[in-house]
Amino acid sequence: MIISQKQQEANRRNAQHSTGPATPAAKEAIRFNALTYGLRTRASILPDENAADYSQLWDELEAD
């Protein structure tokens, strides 16, 4: 799809407002936005989760 020069310039101006989080608090808030689930995950447990609770849940699911 070809866009006009005017639309392309407007897109560039708008993109200047979309630079992502700037403060440490904002970066902390979005750091797990791209977390992958299932077979492609790198970690099964998030940092604020309890590993023992996860293991117990997994054992119960396997028992069922």
Domain count, the chain: 1
% of the chain beyond a pLDDT of 90: 31
DSSP SS3 for 28: helix
Kindly report the CA angle at 45 between 39 and 50, in degrees rounded to 5?
150
Rounded to two decimals, the pTM is 0.36
Q: Is the pLDDT of residue 7 over 90?
A: yes
Q: Is the pLDDT of residue 38 over 70?
A: no
Token pair of 63, please? 């028992």
The mean pLDDT value for 1-30 works out to: 89
Task: Give the tens place of pLDDT for each residue, 8-22.
Answer: 999 999 988 878 888
Distance separating the N- and C-terminal Cα atoms of the chain: 52
Task: Give the tens place of pLDDT for each residue, 44-56.
Answer: 777 788 889 888 9
The parent domain of residue 21 ranges over 5-63
